Chains A and B, each alone.
Chain A
């Protein structure tokens, strides 16, 4: 019997992995990928809570849809920025954009 707890724990673990990725990755594309994992974890949590607890409206699943939309928008903009970073700095690592440090 799969319970809500199973899904939430999996979502939490995905969240931990994404967080680790955001903090450790040095290639900015990889960072954005980690952010994608984070967003997916959140969407999974929403969808599972909706499936177990909200049998009429499924608001959480609607929310998961919106998370996917926002993720797609965020990623496209992020990639466009990275393309510019690549053009101006020749690389997309965190070293390339750390010029402004104090």
Chain B
């Protein structure tokens, strides 16, 4: 059952991810990206982590695509220009190299999924990783301020 679910999810994830990086139409690419992330949230559910899935859904599958669509509209980017030939060559070569690199991922047949409740994850987050947690909050604050400053219209 779960194997079937995994394969279905994985297939759609890969299809939409490829769409997201190849479609010339920017809006379509952004929507494909949203679907990809939504499906990845499903993978997190399969991994027994509803908390991660929820966050993935809220941030990556909702907030980020919306922001992306806004920026696409604001910069009037209808399409992405077609890649140059050398870019295609470099992209394929890099992809091939990375495939070789990742072939070690196959295997690892042993082990069981341990489901984790949102509560456990939250406690871990605030105990083992309290300092990174605070630093991350600071990072978000800085990013927010920085984005406002950068995007503000100049007085002149």
A16 to B105, CA, bound (A): 13
A24→B17 contact, CB < 8 A: no
Please tell me which one of the listed residues B20, B107, B112, B148 contacts residue A21 in the complex, with CB atoms under 8 A apart: B20
B48 to chain A, nearest CB (A): 6
> Does the CB pair A52–B13 fall under 8 Å?
no
Chain B contact surface mostly: helix
- A74–B64 Cα distance when bound, in Å, is 11
A-side interface residues, number (CB < 8 Å): 69
Q: Which residues of B contact A19 (CB under 8 A)?
A: 91, 94-95, 98
Residues of chain A touching chain B, judged by Cβ–Cβ distance below 8 Å, are 1-21, 23-27, 29-30, 32-34, 36-37, 40, 44, 47-48, 51-53, 55, 57-59, 61-62, 64-66, 68-77, 79-84, 86, 91-93
Interface residues of B (CB under 8 A from A): 2-3, 6, 10, 13-14, 17-18, 20-22, 26, 29-30, 33, 36-37, 40, 43-44, 46-49, 51-52, 55-56, 59-60, 63-64, 67-68, 71-72, 74-77, 79-84, 87-88, 90-92, 94-95, 98-99, 101-102, 105-116, 120-121, 124-125, 128-129, 132, 136, 139-140, 142-144, 146-148, 150-151
